[in-house]
Amino acid sequence: MGTPDFSVPSLEALIDHGYRVVGVVTQPDRPRGRKRELTPPPVKRAAEGRGIPVFQPEKLRDPEAIRTVLAMEPDLVVTAAYGQIVPQAILDGPRHGCINVHASLLPKYRGGAPIHRAVIDGEKETGITIMKMVPELDAGDILTQRAIPIDERDHAGSLHDKLSRLGAELLIETLPAFLSGRIQPIPQNEDLATYAPNIRREDEWIDWSQPARKVYDHVRGLHPWPVASTIWRGAPLKIWWVEWTDAASDRSPGTVIAAGREGIEVAAGQGTVRITELQPAGKKPMKAEEFLRGRRMSVGERLGQR
């Protein structure tokens, strides 16, 4: 069970290592892009390319959907970013149960956006957890874990790619010992649990009163999707990338300090931020220098004011 690009390496690894995948369960096709064309999830495309049957229930908890999954008679269900709660009837069905490939070092960052939230929070390390599934959000016993550093220049997209590959590798390493009963699952420490809720529209707005480093982490944590935003002259302005310094400024947070070839320098709560890539409404992303060739952004203007 899986839906986005994150799930694809795990599916392909299972197939390539000789595991017989009897079916793939994924979310229904959804409208995408400006033309709102019905688009299949990445896992569906990968599965169909390998000749594997695909099942796309709108709601997995519906009795008919449950019967369809159990009729495949899986020995084990592997999930990776599926996007729906797996009902107890399915958790109880396979003789080896259900396991999940989760993109954090549980019990930290349970929930739907562990990669984005770890970068936004300025974490220095994250990883993959293979865990047994239970009827609570990412709370099952841990089978295996592997950590990786979050580099200074990592963003949500680059970290996603690293973790999706790591998840596939760790899944393949874990399965032989798990299926033969040689792994002793470890309960999670509930006292250390934190949560990573899905990114909402209001999470995208930059708070210029934050220290420059926090603004940098916020922007890279939302890059390349959904992308951080601010307000300029009453309209949204997407901010694709920034640099930051501790250089002090006596201007109010959000004030443009300089605008030129190197970018647009903006005062933060502490330090300054230089916008280097941005996207006006209705336009493609562009370098700040290109943006300034077609528009005048004056020193002293305030960003983020509605």
Q: Please report, in tens digits, the pLDDT of each residue of the chain (306 residues total).
A: 999 999 999 999 999 999 999 999 999 999 987 788 999 999 999 999 999 999 999 999 999 999 999 999 999 999 999 989 899 999 999 999 999 999 999 999 999 999 999 999 999 999 999 999 998 899 999 999 999 999 999 999 999 999 999 999 999 999 999 999 999 999 999 999 999 999 999 999 999 999 999 999 999 999 999 999 999 999 999 999 999 999 888 999 999 999 999 999 999 999 999 999 999 998 999 999 999 998 889 999 999 987
Cα separation, 217 vs 246, whole angstroms: 14
Instruction: Report pLDDT for 34.
Output: 75
How far lies 233's CA from each of 28, 95, 116, 236, 294, in Å?
39, 60, 28, 8, 15
In this structure, the number of other CB atoms found within 10 A of the CB of residue 226 comes to 15
Helix/strand/coil for 203: helix
Place of tokens 């680059």: 158
Long-range contacts of 118-121 (CB under 8 A, 24+ apart): 118/150, 118/159, 118/196, 118/221, 119/150, 119/154, 119/155, 119/156, 119/159, 119/217, 119/220, 119/221, 120/217, 120/218, 120/221, 120/222, 121/217, 121/221
Cα separation, 136 vs 177, whole angstroms: 25
97 phi/psi in degrees, rounded to 5: 80, -155
Instruction: Report pLDDT for 296.
Output: 86
Both structure tokens of 88? 């107890």
Q: Which helix (H) or strand (E) covers residue 265, if one does? A: strand 263-267
Q: In which region does residue 222 sit, left (phi positive, over 0), alpha (psi from -120 to 50) or beta (all else)?
A: alpha
Angle between helix axes 156-179 and 8-16 (nearest 10 degrees) is 40
**Amino acid at residue number 41:** P
Q: Which residues, 6 or more positions from 306, have their beta carbon under 8 angstroms from its beta carbon?
A: 231, 234
In this structure, the number of other CB atoms found within 10 A of the CB of residue 182 comes to 8
As a whole number of Å, the CA-based R_g of the chain is 22
Which DSSP symbol is given to 199?
P
How many helices (H) and strands (E) the chain has is answered by 8, 14
